[in-house]
Structure 1
């Protein structure tokens, strides 16, 4: 999805009074706070919006995925290099033709549903996680009634098209439980990203009996959620007119026996905007936040630890109804008239010149995609750019461009870095274009109503894959109204690659094709920041999905 559409800010802070309110009289086993290992801390996080759904097979927003990440555990998970690692699975094998994946599940993972809400793990409130739970999750993805957005991600599964179209029952999808602990996936064609995709929230298990008991409410309230991961849901209160909205979670003691869970409790304060969520960190009571903005007060202080992830590509987009910028020669000339090698130098490392669409944070085979496929360096050629620009103007029968401004979301970047681009255009083409900074809500309103001429837009992936970035150019799904049937077919072909080498090659070809069209002129690769107080460690953050994971989060005094 487009970068700004994601929930971008999370803040974490300690609220002892709130924690005591829920702890009084409970008998759930707690981890003792140990100075040596950082366990036992009571974290609280601020979400910029109420989660839309805690149904893993449906949820797409960052707030929902954060809760889901802490509620469930999948077969595999991605490490910091984007490589799949075993989680709830003990092992797996792949057939020689790449069409059959067989997983053996660990035998010590449990569902927990605190039916009487007494925070005690009773025998009748737990049951084993089995292969059938994973099989049923995939049946739900392809059941037309679910309307899951993840069918394309797993379209390689046997019978996927027939099930989705209603020709076959969802039980016929190519996933079956061989036994309680053996799960088998059968693919209709090899898929280079299948194993990595199993780390997504969509591939989390779903217990069929529990699902049926929720009677259509699955994932929509506290009573309709069971946990098989690090934490369970104790409270989910949301009143759109109130300001005490929160989600409260506790350590799932039955699963913590098999895999360590360091925090005792999690409290998620539900805010009404990303600015409100960020303020929880700014006021000095929070432990963590993520931000798209370079903030020297934190980044230049020894009291904070900052992780920078270059996961966003910033570029220029054009109003598709504007006659001048609809001309391909004018767009190409503008791209050639950007001296990318000499921009962003005053951004304290926040921005790097971008020649491509896929940002450096995207991984491939355990390393940056850009290490394997470096940017195709778009030459800065002012003479050729001017000639091409004049040809475009002649085609339009015009002598000059109308005055215009570049629309920029004020919370995204320091606009001073755009002046390098504007100054060069003035020197090369003889026209000046201004800058108009607006709020985030105004920005989206202006884009939706096409009330702009040129705008800065950020793109990233919803998951760690070069294909995930290129998917942003699918017709009818991007904020800049780009639509091209040939591109749509090429994007679809990315999900039909049988080898990593083939996928890599097709991604490179499609990226170059999109660059040649100049519908999105890349300018900067931009950092996303995860900022913590220096005494907090190992809070997992995915800059693509926007999810936070607290299983391994530690606090040291």
Structure 2
């Protein structure tokens, strides 16, 4: 496979000149086939430039959206959150649950349009093989990659030894039996393993192509090859410019094996969530993904809105504030929240939360909350006051006056916090204010611990109960929570050999965290995906934030 960067650069400059004239706007169909909704050019806006299109490294929603459309992995999740084969034709699991053997489809290909003529020329197409998956997992465990996904796949054979420096990353338990047979060997059974293989981290990586990018893999359009529904035609980003976009075309190398409805995708790159929302309002984008309820769309028959309670909003405390190190103060504040009454004026955007795992999380074919109902503790203002006063007496303090709740305006409508503040004033006799800030300031204030109490959103990196609870791990969370017992229980989630065992351990871990009162659940929050009723079958993952357009259709 040749790779000539000078030719690619010239093509980039030409594309940057001409593509905005032909691709802007979301109302321009391209080779539309009447009746079946295919052949449309979809346009949407990303709230930020993708940080990396390297599946083994990428974590942000903008990156994952592009990766979902650029690659195809062994497995994917269906609408119930159940793993289904994608690039895999079939798989078997050994009786002990420690060996997974996959047979790959033999009609999946990599494509890199080197000369940018939108045709498959000699050397631009090559087969996806089992070795590409082996190399991807070796990269996850290669220290040079600094992948954030080593813990997720720590169930693989030799993973622990590699992480401790006692074994080489090439010994990870993944091997190619043949070009179309792939085998994973686990140190212990993990009932989540198939779901993990449906994440972007488990996408394949072509070693030959990777090495030719010379350290630029996933960082520019010359350094990404497609094995999925679409291929990269242009990635143009100037932090000081405004015509930033990613342009993708249907991957003809793979459409004979698995159909793709749209012909083109245009992703306008913006710098804020509000700018992306403005594009949609102006009719310049087909899809809007937002955490903020948009009644002008949700109340209109011209739009289709998917709303999923995928985030739990809770109160977190500054660990440097002595008052909040007292468990009775934190517990008293929690008991003083009437979760049955809050959120009723939010037009169903918010619902009072008693637990951590939000209602949208699915597991084993149904929602987690159907299998593990949350314990709805009764609101008890007298007990709340007694508990709170005990804590204050232990610290020889009189009140928490002048305390404010830090909240990001892009996270929720802050007016809904007034129900909590008013109840606290009635129960405890003090008033706590609201400090509403922009998203940038919010994260800066959290990082510098410039807050006393803050509203924080918890969601999983994937649609999985364990993925939600893993956000509380001491070495990865960004809100300074530390609990050795919680860390041990999180680690044990990777050792579950059955669905029943995972549900039991998730339930126990959830209760451990709740009983610590460092995170006080207050609301289950909707995440929204909005599109015109003319569009259909745009897949949205409310947890990763990714959009997948493989089956997306448009009807006039």
Residue in structure 1 matched with residue 193 of structure 2 by the alignment: 194
Q: Which residue of structure 2 lines up, in the alignment, with residue 36 of structure 1?
A: 35
Match of 1:14 in 2: none
Measure, in 2, the Cα distance between the counterparts of 1:170 and 1:317: 38
* SS of the residue 1:356 aligns to: coil
What is the match of residue 56 of structure 1? 55
Q: Distance in 2 between matches of 1:22 and 1:328?
A: 57
The corresponding residue for 1:472 is 471
Query: Quick check: 1:144–1:165 contact (8 Å CA) kept in 2?
Result: no
1:308 equivalenced with 2:338 (yes/no):
no
Farther off after superposition, 430-439 or 327-336: 430-439
Are the counterparts in 1 of residues 31 and 39 from structure 2 also a CA contact under 8 Å?
yes
Q: Measure the CA separation in 2 of the matches of 1:124 and 1:398.
A: 74
Counterpart of 2:398 in structure 1 is 399
Change (3 A) 1:166 1:384: closer
Please state how far the C-alpha of 1:284 moved relative to its aligned partner.
Answer: 2.5
The equivalent residue for 2:11 is none
Structure 1 residue 402 displacement after superposition: 2.6
Task: Tell me the SS of whatever aligns to 2:311.
Answer: strand
Cα deviations by residue, 1:445-475 (Å, 9 ceiling, x for unpaired): 2222222222211111111111111111111
For structure 2, which runs of at least 5 residues remain unmatched after alignment?
1-17
* 2:514 is the counterpart of 1:498: no
- Residues 473 and 22 (structure 1 numbering): CA distance in 2 closer, same or farther, change over 3 Å? closer
Q: Which residue number corresponds to residue 287 of structure 1?
A: 286
Separation (CA, whole Å) in 1 of partners of 2:450 and 2:42: 43
Matched, 1:133 2:132: yes
Contact 1:57 1:137 in 2 (8 A): yes
Which residue is 1:521 aligned to?
520
Cα deviations across residues 331-353 of structure 1 (Å, max 9, x unaligned)? 11111111111111111111111
- Which segment drifts farther, 92-101 or 236-245? 236-245
| Paired residues, number | 535
SS in 2 for 1:133: helix
- 2:169 is the counterpart of 1:170: yes
In the alignment, the residues of structure 2 paired with residue 451 and residue 166 of structure 1 have an alpha-carbon distance, to the nearest angstrom, of: 38
How far 1:505 moved relative to its partner?
1.0
**Superposed CA offset, 1:278-318 (max 9, x none):** 21112222211011111111000001000100001011112
Contact 1:143 1:164 in 2 (8 A): no
In the TM superposition, 1:429-444 aligns within 5 A as: 429-444=428-443
Residue in 2 that maps onto 1:232: 231
CA distance in 1, matches of 2:415, 2:318: 23
Alignment of 1:75-224 (within 5 A): 75-224=74-223
Do the aligned partners of residues 36 and 300 (structure 1) sit closer, same or farther apart at CA in structure 2, a change above 3 Å counting?
same
Whole-Å Cα distance in 2 between the matches of residues 225 and 349 of structure 1? 41
Q: Return the alpha-carbon distance in structure 1 between the equivalents of residues 483 and 267 of structure 2.
A: 41
Q: CA deviation at 1:31?
A: 7.8
TM-superposed deviation, 1:439: 1.5
- Distance across 2 between alignment mates of 1:526 and 1:58: 28
| In 2: Cα distance, 1:171 partner to 1:518 partner | 42
Q: Distance in 2 between matches of 1:205 and 1:479?
A: 29
For 2:321, the equivalent position in structure 1 comes to 322
Separation in 2, partners of 1:304, 1:31: 22
Note the alpha carbon deviations across 1:17-70, whole angstroms, 9 max, x for none: 8476479xxxxxx98412211111111221111111111111111111111111
Cα pair distance change 1:22/1:429, threshold 3 Å: closer
Q: Which residue of 1 aligns with 2:374?
A: 375
Between 1:350-359 and 1:428-437, the stretch displaced more is: 428-437
- Worse-matched range after superposition: 94-103 or 49-58: 49-58
Q: Is the 8 A contact 2:191 2:496 kept in 1?
A: yes
Residue aligning to 1:250: 249
Distance 1:488 1:342, change over 3 A: same
Q: Tell me whether 1:267 sits opposite 2:266 in the alignment.
A: yes
The answer as to whether partners of 1:62 and 1:545 remain within 8 angstroms in 2 is yes
Q: Which residue of 2 aligns with 1:27?
A: none
Do the aligned partners of 1:31 and 1:262 also contact (CA within 8 Å) in 2? no
Instruction: Return the TM-score normalized by structure 2.
Output: 0.93
1:31/1:39 contact within 8 Å kept? no
In structure 2, relative to structure 1, the CA distance for the partners of 1:371 and 1:209 (3 Å cut) is same
Mapping of 1:443-454 within 5 angstroms?
443-454=442-453
Give yes or no for contact 2:474–2:481 (8 Å, CA) kept in 1. Answer: yes
In structure 2, distance between residues paired with 1:410 and 1:52: 24
SS at match of 1:490: helix
Aligned to 1:6: none
Which segments of structure 1 move beyond 6 Å, counting only runs of 4 or more?
none
Mapped contact 1:52–1:64 kept (Cα < 8 A): yes
